[in-house]
Amino acid sequence: MATTDKTSTRDRLLDAAGELFYREGVSIGVEALCRTAGVSKRSMYQLFTSKDEVLAASLARRLPAYEAQLVPDALEAATPRERILHVFERLEKAAAESAYQGCPYLAALVELKDPEHPASVVAGGAKAGMKEFLRARAEEGGARDPDLLARQLMVVFDGASARAGARIETLDGLTVTTATTLLDAAGMN
């Protein structure tokens, strides 16, 4: 029974952390986190050494769902070009939702400003994974410089995520059109 209680407490903390950090930012205090999760600070510190560790664990826990939301499987998009454009189509769809506040991994990196922070390490890994996905598809699709194209696409992705998350831009075809222009300029099939 104690294991179930600890798992349940851990899950509640990570759920609350994911929600609060995304909605309010990483400066949320331990008290607000524990209150939202319905757990005591003592229970939190029995499971995690710090709020930083909770933030890192919540970002890591969210990553598979985040990637699944953006990255197509082989049945959704067959060619490397379609797979890249799918990412931007999904970004536009996500950005149109009222709860969208940008890429949680970019937000963590920007807010924390410390590349050694445990959450920055997780967030940096997530961004590197997305860049590698784009680079690999660019290489498969015959882009002249897959590394450069992946960097360019990440600038579009992160810039669009930030602008849409801040509600200063609606994406409505903007990122797909921009990504298409970059793919064409790179000579990608």
> For residue 189, what pLDDT band results from cuts at 50, 70 and 90?
confident
Q: Coil, helix or strand for 49?
A: coil
pLDDT digits (tens, 9 = 90+) for 74-89: 667 689 999 999 999 9
Whole-number percent of the chain with pLDDT over 70: 94
pTM: 0.90
pLDDT digits (tens, 9 = 90+) for 136-148: 999 999 999 999 9
Mean per-residue pLDDT for 32-49? 95
- Domains identified in the chain and CATH numbers: 2-185 (1.10.357.10)
Concatenating the DSSP letter of every residue in 12-45 gives: HHHHHHHHHHHHH-TT--HHHHHHHHT--HHHHH
Containing 60, the helix (H) or strand (E) segment is helix 51-70
* pLDDT recorded at residue 74: 67
Q: At what angle do helices 146-165 and 80-95 cross, to 10 degrees?
A: 10
